[in-house]
């Protein structure tokens, strides 16, 4: 499988922006984990779009950044940078 350079660079930048990234294999991500569709405005992830990860009992907001069919990572985002996409 080939991953375009831009997608890989964005994935690496997202991982590097977080002190505690959470990695997921495609089979670990369930439909229940996908939260609202968001866009990040400001901060180190400015311009990223994706879904919030919903985790029971967690107050930390994370965006799911994916390399489709390969790997995904949940990285913490500051709530003030989150814009909901309808």
User: How much is the pLDDT for 54?
Assistant: 78
Extended strands (E) in 2-85: 22-24, 34-40, 49-53, 62-67, 71-76, 82-84
**Residues 14, 62: contact at Cβ < 8 Å?**
no
Residue 57, CB-side half-sphere exposure with 13 Å CA sphere: 0
Percent of the chain with pLDDT over 70: 100
Give the tens place of pLDDT for each residue, 10-22. 999 999 999 999 9
Position 1 confidence tier, pLDDT thresholds 50, 70, 90: confident
Using one digit for the tens of pLDDT, what is the confidence trace for 43-70? 999 999 999 997 777 788 999 999 988 9
- The whole-model pTM stands at 0.84
H or E element: which one contains 59?
A: none
């Amino acid at each position: 499988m080939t991953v375009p350079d831009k997608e890989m660079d964005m994935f690496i930048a997202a991982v590097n922006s977080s002190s505690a990234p959470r990695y997921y294999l495609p089979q670990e991500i369930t439909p229940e984990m996908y939260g609202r569709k968001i866009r990040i405005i400001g901060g180190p992830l400015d311009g990223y779009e994706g879904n919030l990860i919903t985790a029971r009992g967690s107050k930390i907001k994370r965006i799911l950044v994916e390399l489709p069919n390969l790997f995904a990572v949940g990285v913490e985002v500051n709530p003030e940078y989150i814009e909901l996409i309808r």
